[in-house]
């Protein structure tokens, strides 16, 4: 279980003997909280242990190395934040894409700090974390293609849709609602995705995309 914003700073009760699973979960929870405040190399395991009210040795009992601990924390956060979105089958492609965009914007609105921490972890940390984020992104591509009604596209479309997703991530993360209205952002992202996909598969369809914008 990963810390949600509500549980941040929750003081854990003075610890007696805990079950292995509960202890692991507690430590990961604390690790995630602390990782919001500072990057991994500035985080001492002493502090994690202290917050849990246990000795540092016990931490090493559950996670052989600091890197292992780090990977466990980021993996848990990834499971929590990047849960694959559900798209209703009955809606039209345009509507399904809009739902996906809406879902992501909402996710960032609710967990901006956590999400930033997570994607930044993709860079600095362990190779396993880099791979984790990369494979999570890879897994996202077919979902968006399915939603668009274009499941079977060539390698170029796969490649650029993946890039588009990363670009959208950056766009939404740097988005300032004061400068750009929420609806304008969502509208643009939907049209942008359709245009990108059309360009990579069937350029004639671009005209249709233009139509949806008038």
Partner DNA sequence: TAGCGTTATTGACAGATGCTCAACAACGCA
Partner DNA sequence: TGCGTTGTTGAGCATCTGTCAATAACGCTA
| Interface with a second copy, residue 191, by CB under 8 A | yes
Is the distance from CB of 87 to CB of 100 less than 8 angstroms?
Answer: yes
Within 13 Å of residue 32, how many CA atoms lie on the same side as its CB? 30
- The residue (of 22 and 173) whose beta carbon lies closer to DNA is 22
* The residue to which tokens 């810390």 are assigned: 3
**Binding map of a second copy across residues 77-106, x = CB under 8 A, - = no contact:** ------------------------------
Give me the helices (H) in the chain, please. Answer: 20-37, 45-52, 56-62, 66-81, 93-110, 112-124, 127-148, 155-174, 182-201, 206-212
Q: What angle do CA 7, 75, 44 make, to 5 degrees?
A: 70
What is the distance between the alpha carbons of residues 47 and 44, in angstroms, rounded to a whole number? 6
Binding site for DNA (CB under 7 A): 15-20, 23, 43-46, 53-58, 60-61, 64-67
Q: What is the nearest approach in angstroms of DNA to the Cβ of residue 21?
A: 8
Q: What is the nearest approach in angstroms of a second copy to the Cβ of residue 47?
A: 16
* The residue to which tokens 């670009």 are assigned: 167
213 contact choice in DNA, a second copy, none (CB below 5 to 8 Å, kind-dependent): a second copy
Q: Which of 30, 82, 147, 209 binds a second copy (CB under 8 A)?
A: 209
Q: What is the nearest approach in angstroms of a second copy to the Cβ of residue 14?
A: 32
- The residue (of 56 and 128) whose beta carbon lies closer to DNA is 56
The residue count for the chain:
214
Give the residues lining the site for a second copy (CB under 8 A): 39-41, 119-125, 130, 155-156, 159-160, 162-172, 174-176, 179-180, 184-185, 188-189, 191-192, 195-196, 199-200, 203-204, 206-207, 209-210, 213-214
């Amino acid at each position: 279980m990963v810390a949600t914003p509500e549980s941040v700073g929750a003081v854990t009760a003075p610890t007696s003997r805990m079950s292995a699973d509960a202890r692991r979960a507690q430590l990961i929870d604390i690790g995630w909280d602390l990782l919001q405040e500072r990057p991994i190399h500035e985080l001492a395991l002493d502090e994690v242990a202290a917050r849990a009210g246990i000795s540092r040795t016990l931490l090493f009992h559950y996670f052989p190395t600091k890197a292992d601990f780090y990977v466990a924390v980021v993996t848990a956060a990834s499971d929590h934040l990047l849960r694959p979105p559900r798209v209703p089958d009955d809606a039209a492609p345009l509507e399904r894409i809009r739902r996906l965009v809406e879902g992501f914007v909402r996710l960032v609105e609710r967990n901006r700090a956590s999400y930033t921490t997570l994607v930044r972890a993709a860079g600095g940390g362990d190779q396993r974390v880099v791979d984790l984020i990369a494979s999570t992104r890879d897994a996202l591509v077919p979902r968006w293609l399915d939603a668009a009604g274009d499941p079977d596209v060539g390698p170029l479309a796969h490649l650029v849709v993946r890039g588009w997703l990363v670009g959208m991530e950056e766009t939404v993360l740097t988005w300032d609602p004061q400068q750009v209205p929420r609806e304008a952002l969502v509208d643009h992202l939907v049209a942008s995705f359709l245009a990108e996909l059309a360009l990579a598969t069937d350029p004639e369809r671009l005209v249709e995309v233009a139509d949806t914008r008038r």
